[in-house]
Amino acid sequence: MTIARMAGKVVAWLVAVLIILIAAIAMFIFTFDWNRARPMVDDKVSAAIGRTFTINGDLTVSWHRASGETGWRAWILWPTFAARNITIANPDWTKQRYFATLDEIDFQVKLLPLLTHDIVIPTINLVRPSIDLERVADGRNNWTFKLKSSAHPLEWKLDLHDIRLDQGNIALSDQPQDVAMQATVNTLGHAIPIGEVLKQQENKSRSASADVVGKRGARKLSTQAQAAASAASAASASGVSAAPTTPGSPASAGQPPASGTAAAVTQPKSEPQYGIGWTATGSYKHSALSGSGKLGGVLALQDASRPVPVQADVKAGDLHVSLVGTVTDPAHLAAVDLRLWLQGSSLDRLYPLTGITLPQTPPYATEGHLTGNIKAGGSVFRYEKFSSRVGGSDLDGTLIYTQRAPRPLLTGEVVSNLLQFKDLAPVVGADSNASKARRGATARQPANKALPVEGFRTERWKAIDADVKFTGRRIVKDPALPITDLYTHIVMIDGVLSLEPLKFGVAGGAIASDLHLDGRERPLKARASTRVRHLKLKQLLPTVKTMQSALGEVNGDAQLSATGNTPAALAASANGEVKLLVTDGVLSRLLMEAAGLNVANVVYEKLYGDRTVHINCAAADFVVTDGVLDSHAFALDTDDAVINIDGKVNMKNETMDLGVHPHTKGFRIFTLRSPLYVKGTFKNPHVGVNPTALALRGGAMVGLGIVNPFAALIPLIAPSNNKPLPCQQLIAAMQSQQPTAPPPGQRKKAKGLRLPPGTPVGDATRSSVLGMPLPKTTR
């Protein structure tokens, strides 16, 4: 036997042995009962995750050619591992037995990368996974695992490309947040780009806005947003800022899209895509919760450096939240970049969700761009270039929320081009009971009370500090008497709220106030100072034809302090002074006669025309003591008559007892020399002599009293006496004696205006007013 022949036989035997070995291994792999390996797999996984892991069904391995491969690799069989009926136990303190259950899991493993210690898995399929998430009141949760750490570096690397979900279910019970929710999760049939979802959600959210603020309000909101988009595009064209992009795209960092439509026009090729869809039902804060949305792929949730696309459309009670954008590092919530839509019954109901103190309002709808960089103790969120409708009013601006110690800070600027005065009523609880019910308020206004009894939520004032500037270009209460150029600087620090200044234009003049509300203790302590300058009589009553020849002005000052937790309580405890002055001007004689000076002359003037009456001067001085307004001096002098008003208005029980004393100059066919009177309550005034004219003033008094207690006497101005007033001396006295007020909660009787010698004053009603003795008066 030659060496060559011997070598040939050895090689032949070796090949035969190798073939037999491969066949044996293959037969073993294909026929081996892998269920015998379940105990080992269970033990290994349980030790790694710190929970009991069990494969209750079959563990199998099958071999298949890989899809998507070409060339010789397409002929290689890959092992496909499958396990059925898997459970992962919960801690013993949870309600449910299992943290997770799974009907089946299967995946393929590439063979060749195993030679380099790489485990490459193209796809893992999860069939009907069910996860139970629980957090109890003391903060313990079941989704935090104590993973076993290895003392040696791992020699194997896992490369997982995709996870597919089939009919996944998630149950969440979060006691600290009062959330109970059931969600269904599925892999989408195909990836959906974020730009397409953004455009769809924008159309859907704007349609939903019509259900809250009406179709007209929704159209106006859309116009506001489009105007913002145009402004952003113009700024981009001029090089001021970058072009709008999709939230979460590489070019969008720090750049808010002007609107969803504008953002979706040009999408970068690398824009994020959605791979998972979900729906949810349950409750939040005892309110029904339902919603749906989309997420990026499951693996994207584990990449801390790549923004994950998110979309949600959720209703919780009367709150509707929609968002489209990205979240960076979802496990630790490092940053957000979202287009955000909100609709609800009142802005103050966002407090449980956001912790931000906002006022009570009518129903609202808003949309804007929310960005946030999140870090422990110093997160910053910006709600940029938002557009809102609140009732019939528009609001636009940017707000910034900064997390800090000891309280977070809200800063920004808000602008309204048209603000309906009625939309401010809920801020002080002056809206109807039906409106209160819609916005979830528990207080109801008694039928016999005019001043609001709904309390201020001062406990929320300590939750956040604020520094916000508000501008209202046009505020409408009466379309004929608009308020313009409203501006206020709202500052809240540790429960102390100030509006300094609060100023606006009206009737060709201006009213400026400084308000200070200390909510650190109960009852609330308030201080207010107000300056009225150059209000034109002609413009104060623009719809009264006979007032159009009046050229006079109204000026005044007020200082008030009070304590109380409701507007009514503040009015009932008010102390201070109010002074008003009308300087030289003219007034329609027809209006003066209509006030009750001479009934016969009213008829005469309507038949034969009207002439003007010269106003020499008018002055009013009110002293407020424990909620009682006392007209120490109130006189108006014209060429035809002198009129005085005296008496008291009691804000505690909302009653009034005023005497109106007209004294004509010269002969009249029929003259009313008996004093007129106004008595009764704010809701039911009783007027003597001329009930029609004075009842209208009584109604106006109630309307003004809701907003400002001392302003309630303005509609009652109609002076008296038969001797001319010493106008120059009176004006000098008013200008030199500024109003004062004691500190809140302290009673210090104001002195009132000292009238010059010889100034006529009117008779008080001959009985005591509101149970209080009246000072003696002289003619």
Q: What's the confidence (pLDDT) of residue 78?
A: 82
On whether both 64 and 182 belong to a single domain, the answer is: no
On whether both 108 and 185 belong to a single domain, the answer is: no
Out of 295-299, 334-338, 355-359, 399-403, which region has the weakest mean confidence (pLDDT)?
295-299
Contact residues for 409 (Cβ-Cβ < 8 A; gap 6+)? 401, 402, 464, 465, 466, 467
State the Cα torsion 199-204-210-213 to the nearest 10°.
Answer: -70
Kindly state whether residue 15 falls inside one of the protein's structural domains: no
On whether both 576 and 640 belong to a single domain, the answer is: yes
402: pLDDT confidence band, cut at 50, 70 and 90? very high
* Residue 292: other Cβ atoms inside 10 A: 15
Rounded-to-integer distance, Cα 186 and Cα 163, Å: 11
Mean pLDDT over 421-436 rounds to 80
Kindly state whether residue 426 falls inside one of the protein's structural domains: yes
Rounded-to-integer distance, Cα 714 and Cα 555, Å: 12
Tokens 């035809």: give the residue: 640
DSSP reduced 3-state for 298:
helix
* Residue 109: other Cβ atoms inside 10 A: 15
On whether both 162 and 194 belong to a single domain, the answer is: no
Three-state SS letters, 57-123: CCEEEEEEECCCCCHHHHHCEEEEEEEEEEEEECCCCCCCCEEEEEEEEEEECCCHHHHHCEEEECC
On whether both 397 and 302 belong to a single domain, the answer is: yes
Decide if 454 contacts 443 (C-beta within 8 A).
yes
Domain endpoint, select from 444, 468, 489: 444
Rounded-to-integer distance, Cα 325 and Cα 213, Å: 25
Average pLDDT over all residues of the chain = 75
Q: Model confidence over 289-308: pLDDT tens digits? A: 999 999 887 766 666 678 88
Kindly state whether residue 4 falls inside one of the protein's structural domains: no
On whether both 139 and 280 belong to a single domain, the answer is: no
Kindly state whether residue 667 falls inside one of the protein's structural domains: yes
Q: Is 336 exposed, middle or buried (0-12, 13-18, 19+ CB in 10 A)?
A: buried
On whether both 181 and 166 belong to a single domain, the answer is: no
Greatest mean pLDDT among 59-63, 141-145, 412-416 = 412-416
On whether both 414 and 552 belong to a single domain, the answer is: no
DSSP reduced 3-state for 529:
strand
| Domain span including residue 720 | 539-565+572-736
Kindly state whether residue 262 falls inside one of the protein's structural domains: no
Taking CA 194 as the corner, what is the angle to CA 192 and CA 198, rounded to the nearest 5 degrees? 115
Contact residues for 71 (Cβ-Cβ < 8 A; gap 6+)? none
Rounded-to-integer distance, Cα 251 and Cα 241, Å: 12
| Number of separate domains in the chain | 3
Q: Please state whether the predicted TM-score (pTM) of the whole model is above 0.85.
A: no
Rounded-to-integer distance, Cα 576 and Cα 529, Å: 10
Decide if 365 contacts 331 (C-beta within 8 A).
no
- The single-letter code of the amino acid at 420 is Q
On whether both 110 and 191 belong to a single domain, the answer is: no
Q: Model confidence over 220-274: pLDDT tens digits? A: 888 877 776 666 556 555 544 433 344 554 444 444 443 443 343 334 456 788 9
Q: What's the confidence (pLDDT) of residue 350?
A: 86
On whether both 167 and 211 belong to a single domain, the answer is: no
On whether both 160 and 194 belong to a single domain, the answer is: no
Going from the C-alpha of 745 to that of each of 517, 524, 634, 741, the distances in angstroms are 13, 10, 27, 11
DSSP reduced 3-state for 226:
helix
On whether both 100 and 186 belong to a single domain, the answer is: no
